[in-house]
Amino acid sequence: PLLVGGKDMIYPRMNNLSYWLSPNALYLLMLSFMTDKGVGAGWTLYPPLSSYPYHSGPSMDVMIVALHLAGASSLVGAINFASTNKNMPALEMKGERAELYVLSISVT
């Protein structure tokens, strides 16, 4: 927000939601390693290894929920960042006069 001339993000509660979803996702990720026999599907979560015959316990389900929470956190943060870049820039920071970091994040 400082690069577009603002004091804070345009939606501070969305920013808070994005922040607090991240530790919960990490907690569930760590919990999935300790549940039952753990997630033995490797770092790629290869589908044949993560199917029911190999993982009949809840560890894979907890891992999937953790990944969904991390994705939701990232999505909420990205929406907040994009809306801040769109709606808050000062007059001298609009368009091609914006900082390179703001432009790169907006394009991403």
Q: What is the pLDDT of residue 9?
A: 82
Question: For 51-60, how does the pLDDT look when each residue is reduced to its tens digit (9 = 90+)?
Answer: 777 777 788 8
Give every CB contact of residue 93 below 8 A, 6+ residues apart in sequence.
3, 4, 5, 99, 102
Angstrom distance (rounded) from CA 59 to CA 63: 6
pTM for the whole structure: 0.79
Q: What is the DSSP letter of 48?
A: T
Give the pLDDT mean for 27-48.
83
Residues 44-51 have a mean pLDDT of 73
pLDDT tens for each residue of 69-103: 999 999 999 898 888 888 777 767 776 677 787 77
